[in-house]
Amino acid sequence: MSKLIVAGRQKLSGAVEVQGAKNSALPILAAALLAKGENVLYHCPVLSDVEASCRVLRYLGCKVSRSSHTLIVSGSGAQRSDIPDELMRKTRSSIVFLGALLASSGSARLTLPGGCEIGRRPVDMHIKGLRALGALIREKHGCLECSAPYGLTGSKITLSFPSVGATENIMIAASTANGTTTIINAAREPEITDLAEYLNRCGAKIDGAGEGVIVIEGVRSLHACSHTIIPDRIAAATLMSCAAVTGSDITLKNVIQAHLGAVIPVFEEAGCRISCHECELRIIAPRRLKSFKTIRTMPYPGFPTDAQAPLLAAACTADGTSVFVENIFENRYRHVSELARMGANIKTEGRVCVVEGVPTLYGARVDATDLRGAAAMVAAGLCAESVTTVRGVQYLERGYENLEQTLCALGADVRKI
C-alpha cells in the first residue's frame, strides 16, 4: 500500500493548472455508451475512478483509448449489458451506467454498488426514476436485474432529494426515450450542466440543466461528439485549502469562478484575499486563518460536501472556533480522528463538528479513510511540525491526479513511496 511523506511547515508559491472534473467525466463516460461513433473527451483527468469506468466500457464492448488528457470512446460497440461485480466494486459511481445500459440495450444487470466509506449510498431514487420511464427493475441478493422490453417512455419525475447520480441516470436514460421527461427537484451541480451539454452536442434535447427543473425531449438516437470536461471545482477547493493552511500565495489556472460561489466567501471570511481573472484564481492567505464561522454542506449552489474535509483540515490551526454541519452524507467525519492524532482539537456530534483552532499540528502517521479525507490529511501535513506519513494513497488517486506532483510544483516537499 503506497503512502505519502509530507514535510511540514511548508510555504507554497507559483501557479498550477486544475484537473478536469472527475464527477463530470464519470457520467459522461457512461453516456458515451449511447453516442454512436468516436467521442473525443478533452481534459479527462487521469484517475483510478476514470480508469475503472473505462474498464467497464471496454468490458461492454466499447473501444476506449487515451492520449494524455484526451479520451477517445467509441460508444457504438456495446455488446453486453451486464457489469460484473468486480468492476462494480471498483467505483460505486458505476451505478450511473444503469440508465445508459437500459437506453442502449434495453437491459442491464449489475450489482448494487453498496455503501462506501462515507455512508450507505442507497440508490432508491435512481430505481424509482428509471421505473417511472418504464424500466422493469428487480433487486435480488444485491443485484439489479433491469429490462425495458417496450423501450423507455418519457415521464414526469419528482426527486425527493436533488440527488446528483439519480438526476444523471434519469437524464441519460430519458435522452433517447419516447416522449418528454421532466425532472423536478433535479440536482443543479455544474457536472449536471456539463453532462447535459455533452448530451446536447450528441443530439439530445435537454433544457434547464443547472436549474431545479430539467426537461428532456427524447430523440431517436445520439451521435458521437467532441467535448471538453469542465474544471474540477473540488480539486480547486482542495488546493485553496492547502494554500490557506500554509499562509501561501498561489494561482490556480483552469478555474470557473462561478462554480466556487459558495467556497470563495468562506476563505475570504477566514482572512484570505481572492482575486479571479478569466480562468485564473489567486489566493493570498494570512499567516494564520481566522476561524470559519459555520459551514453547512448543501446541494449546489450551497457549500459542496466534497470540500468539507479539506476545509476542516484548514480550520484545525485557525484562530478561533469553526463549526461544520454535514447535511449530505451520514458518515463523512472519519478524517476527524486522524486529524486529532496530529493534535487537532475537534468534537463531533452527529452531523455537527466543532473545531477549536490550535496554534500548531504535529506530524504523525495517519490513515486516509476516503477520497476527500485523504486530501484533508495532506493539507494538515503541509502545515504540521515535522513530517506526516499518510497511508492509503489509493483513496487519493481515485479523485486527484498526481496531487503530490502538483504540490511539489508549488514548492512543497511531498513524496510517494
Point out the residues that are catalytic. Answer: 116
Contacting range for ligand EPZ; rule: CB under 6 A; set: 132-140, 156-164, 205-213, 214-222: 156-164
| Range 278-307, binding ligand EPZ (CB under 6 A) | 305-306
The reply to whether 381 sits near ligand EPZ by the rule CB under 6 A is: no
Q: How many residues bind ligand EPZ (CB under 6 A)?
A: 24
Q: Does 26 bind ligand EPZ (CB under 6 A)?
A: yes
64-72, 162-170, 236-244, 274-282 -> range binding ligand EPZ (CB under 6 A): 162-170
Exactly one of 122, 142, 179, 265 binds ligand EPZ (CB under 6 A); that residue is 122
Residues 181-220 that bind ligand EPZ (CB under 6 A): 187
**Does residue 151 belong to the site contacting ligand EPZ (CB under 6 A)?**
no
CA angle, residues 394, 400, 405, in degrees to nearest 5: 95
- Minimum CB separation of residue 23 from ligand EPZ in Å reads 3
Task: Establish if 328 lies at the interface with ligand EPZ (CB under 6 A).
Answer: yes
The region of 159-167, 247-255, 314-322, 338-346 touching ligand EPZ under the rule CB under 6 A is 159-167
Choose which of 93, 104, 322, 369 interacts with ligand EPZ (CB under 6 A). Answer: 93
Closer to ligand EPZ by CB, 36 or 259: give it: 259
Instruction: Please choose, out of 20-28, 238-246, 273-281, 373-381, the segment that lies near ligand EPZ by the rule CB under 6 A.
Output: 20-28
Check binding of 329 to ligand EPZ (CB under 6 A). yes
- Closest CB to ligand EPZ belongs to which residue? 165
> Interface with ligand EPZ by CB under 6 A: which residues?
22-23, 26, 93, 119, 121-126, 161, 163-166, 187, 305-306, 328-329, 371-372, 399
